[in-house]
């Protein structure tokens, strides 16, 4: 029995949930999301107790595996509509930086050209200005939105533009991410004959 799938999902204040056939729609102050769940599970909304309950139709292996997954995806939709998810990233390196022009986000990361990304619908990128962070600190930016999967996928795509390298730590990394550093080569010029 799925322990996660059995737990009812509380509906946060200010968020509306509706189920039409297999389409689950959530709407709140941070945005609107909709998702179609699999037919092996069913979703009911209890308006009186402000709960969403996910049940499975049978005890097949597929239904059991989809039970907890469906519950967590709906819980993430409810949380994202009440308060958006966010990922903070930093760009380390001399001459490295980021630029945001309307829906184009470009990363300057030691290549001959900037790596340009189209910002997906429903995802917002905010760049911290150089005056606010000081010139010696890394470039910082935040990716946020109500859809947890879209925010995480876009953050991972931006990080893949230049993953942090292990010798100097240059590259794009999540804020607070630990990069294990390696020592460089030792010079042999100090030995005497």
Tell me: the pLDDT tens digits for 148-168? 999 999 999 999 999 999 998
CATH of domain 3-82: 3.90.930.12
Say how far apart CA 186 and CA 189 lie, in whole Å.
9
CATH 3.90.930.12 segments of the chain: 3-82, 85-174
Which of 83, 18, 23 lies closest to 52 in space, CA to CA?
A: 18
- CB of 133 within 8 A of CB of 140? yes
Superfamily of domain 85-174: Ribosomal protein L6 (3.90.930.12)
Residue 192: pLDDT above 60? no
Torsion, Cα 58 61 64 69, to 10 degrees, reads: -130
| pLDDT number for residue 4 | 87
- What are the pLDDT digits (tens) for 31-48? 999 999 999 999 999 989
């Amino acid at each position: 029995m799925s322990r996660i799938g059995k737990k009812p999902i509380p509906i946060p204040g200010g968020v509306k949930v509706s189920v039409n056939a297999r389409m689950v729609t959530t709407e709140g102050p941070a945005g609107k999301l909709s998702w179609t769940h699999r037919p092996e599970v069913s979703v009911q909304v209890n308006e009186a107790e402000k709960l969403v309950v996910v049940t499975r139709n049978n005890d097949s292996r597929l239904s059991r595996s989809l039970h907890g997954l469906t519950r967590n995806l709906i819980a993430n939709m409810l949380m994202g509509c009440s308060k958006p998810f966010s990922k903070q990233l930093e760009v380390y390196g001399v001459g490295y930086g980021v630029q945001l022009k309307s829906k184009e986000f470009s990363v300057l990361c030691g290549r001959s050209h900037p790596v340009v990304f189209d910002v997906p619908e429903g995802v917002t990128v905010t760049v911290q200005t150089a005056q606010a962070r000081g010139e010696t600190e890394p470039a910082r930016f935040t990716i946020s939105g109500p859809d947890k999967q879209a925010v995480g996928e876009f953050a991972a795509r931006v990080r893949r533009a230049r993953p942090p390298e292990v010798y100097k730590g240059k590259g794009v990394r999540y804020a607070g991410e630990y990069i294990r550093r390696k020592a460089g080569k030792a010079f042999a010029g100090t030995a005497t004959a």
